[in-house]
Structure 1
Amino acid sequence: MVRWQPGTSERLQAAALDLFASQGYEQTTAAEIAQSVGLTERTFFRHFSDKREVLFHGQQLLVDAFLAGMAAAPDDATPMELVAAALESAAEFFPDERREHSRLRQTVIDQNPALQERERHKLSVLAATVGEALRARGVTEPAATLAAESGATVFGVAFTQWIAPGETRPITQIERAVLAELRGLAAVGPGPAAGD
């Protein structure tokens, strides 16, 4: 049995997602995932620390895509322009052919509270990392945190829309629309001050 062939991680991820969707996340073991693609459980654990990580394996690549977009932005970009650049860069991580996979993955996550918590943690880590990058570019507080949290929120809302049944727009188009909506909300004048 060949254990270290190219694409092993991807094969394990695809098999795991199919098994999670068909028989349930809790009911699926790492050994079953490995056996379904002709591998051993030991091989599974060479690639993933546990079965949950099969669903979250690309998280660092997503963070890196956000950071690459910010790094490529002009030096005089505003905090929200940096966030927009990060969103544009990260959109490349979600081509249209990945949509069905993402829909199925989200279905599995939505059925398990622990996985939902892990997904929220992913967005929290993303916001914290973007915030650090903004501060490194000289953006002060609270602007750095507000922009970073806004960027993570825009991504989360856009992603949810992108995987919605019947949705066909590319994620870049959805991200731009959600970001425009956010900017529109921010443009509305402030409400009464506390104590008024």
Structure 2
Amino acid sequence: MRTHLCGDRALLIDVDQPAGYASATDAVLALTERLREVAHPGIIDLVPAAQTLLIHLDPAVLSLEGAQRLLDDTGLPPATASTGGGETHRIPVSYDGPDLEDLASSLGITTAELIVRHSGTTWRAAFGGFAPGFFYLSAASGPGLGTVPRRSEPRTAIPAGSVALAGEWSAVYPGSSPGGWQIIGFTETPFWDSAAERPALLRAGDLVEFYDKEHA
């Protein structure tokens, strides 16, 4: 792990792919979980990303040097430890998205197999980005779908609740926005509510299990 200063109130931890971990993202989530367990009052927020973890500090409680010592003492958990430690969300999906058939064809599988593989995968909320409530979901277990190409032409408006795939990720669009991901279905489960005490449904480390509402 490499540490970078971000002003006088934050550290950016750059995580490579340590031995035993399937990806750098898994290592980031393991470190995030460990620091949540430590619950140091000087840590204001933890912001994981694909290969980094940003640690926001209260300098009156925890200095940059103190945070570095805390990291040295805490260390990265072994890969055999649980990664994520969050809630599990069961999300009903209508698998009738506009890209479902073309995407299945490009992957060399049937639409039924695409649905089975997507709903048969347990997805982990790796990190948020792009829009409030938008989380990049990585395959934690199950068949997965490999690497999915983005659309050659992004759409100017994708409706809220769109269930999508791109690269190694799945996601649910929390609100209407432009986007170039492949839309395979829709859910009525809200992923962002600005009026709620906790606006985002997910947080990093949560697990997501999609299921076909037509065959539940």
Q: Into which bin does the TM-score normalised by the smaller protein fall?
A: under 0.3
**Greater RCO structure (CA 8 Å; 6+ sep):** 2
- Radius of gyration: which is bigger? 1
What is the TM-score when the length of structure 1 is the normalising length?
0.27
Bigger fraction of residues in helix: 1
